[in-house]
Structure 1
Amino acid sequence: MDKKLTIIEVKERLKSIHSIDDPAFEQIKMDERKGVQTAIKAWHKKQADALKLEQKHQEMLQFEEKLWQQNCVYIAGIDEVGRGPLAGPVVAAAVILPKDFHVLEINDSKQLSEAKRDALFDIIKKEALAIGVGIKDESIIDQVNIYQATKLAMIEAVENLSIDPQHLLIDAMKLELDIPQTSIIKGDAKSLSIAAASIVAKVTRDRMMKDYDKQYPGYGFVKNAGYGTKVHLEGLEKYGVTPIHRKTFAPVKDQIMKKR
């Protein structure tokens, strides 16, 4: 190998190598410099990580692949976020992905950082065939209960799709819709379409809660998204119940009773 290559140049060359059978890699292996050998170890780890991501990607397409083989083209993955918080809406998303969608980092939104979710959200918005969002606020949640409100949000998300889906893949739910559907336990970790929907729902709701934080400061909505954290409960005690609080949820209900 040309010894004139610096360590930085070797690292750059490794970026374009994707197989140990590449002649260029064979040359680099012969370089005994510690910096080069360290770079090679890092390259091996990166390849192994990429392989795991690809395997996970393929595993998460098992439900979609089966339906695609049955000539079912438009498959909507559906998920929600916001069933547990004390404040704010429950948000559902329905996403129809194209067959050639190949974004390896997509996973259950709860497993991703905020920055990664935001980046993937933009990619999904750009490449998805259709996206629908359904939102049910605290008044609906208090009126019909959170489980039914979640269903209503999911149905609204499906109805807001610009393409009529031929099949629904849903995270642990059954919807009263005249569309074939499959309910999958922990679907956001098993189906790419559901995982994409979980990201859209999560980012959409988190951004809503950040706006609510400006409107109702003191509850930590920008960080806790309405969940019952210590900061949120302290804010509830200090500032009282806001219009976006769920009045039928225990800590909020208790606070209302105390004020009477």
Structure 2
Amino acid sequence: MTAPRPVPVARSTSDGAFSLIVAECFGIVTPTFQGEGPSCGHPALFIRLSRCNLTCTRCDTKYTWDWSQYDPATESSRRSVTDLVAWAASSPVELVVITGGEPLIQQRKLVPLVQGLLAAGKRIEFETNGTIAPEPALLVDGVRFNVSPKLASFGVEEAKSIVPAALEVFAASGQAAFKFVASTVADLDRTAELASAYGLAPVWVMPEGTTAEAITATARILAEAVAARHWHFTTRLHVLAFGEARGR
């Protein structure tokens, strides 16, 4: 597998200092909702940023980083912070999910985006793999982090995907929930080790799968063990409702 590498992308704005590399934005023309974690089922808008610092084999958004399969010039463009705030403000939906890829790669340019969205009356959730600590300017009221540390079973070396210093910052912030993708009860045992080692709470478990059938089957394998640990359990509601369609 080819690792992510910096590539040029076509600029669609003239204010490069305040623009972000974006894969897609959705939730206005075709409404949708947050499909995972603490806000599962809430109406939501999505800003999906391009690029990632991991190369997980089970990733379902490889079009944000795997240039052996996708063309970055086709799959991403630069959009200004002003444009993104205006896009979100045009909708009455309150929740804006900033996801990826790994959004915190671009976090310095995310500060003005977050400020603009909050000023427009939005609340914000970041979906992050937990390898990059957030800057203090992002740890403000109205912002939450859904931190999803990737286990070895997700197809990545934990030496790269588990960054203790970053996890400790998220845990201390009081603004994070920790969402682990699991396939087996052994994954839950590993989740418990990490939660104990770094003070990760609350813990959410999400069954791995990209189809309704796979998610349901995995949920049935994990449910009893998750309940016994008194953790939260989340499905992937968007997959159950819309299948593998992009932009939902």
| TM-score for the superposition, normalised by structure 2 | 0.27
Give 1 or 2: higher strand fraction. Answer: 2
Give 1 or 2: higher helix fraction. Answer: 1
Task: Select the structure of larger CA radius of gyration.
Answer: 1
Q: Larger RCO: Structure 1 or Structure 2 (Cα < 8 Å, ≥ 6 residues apart)?
A: 1
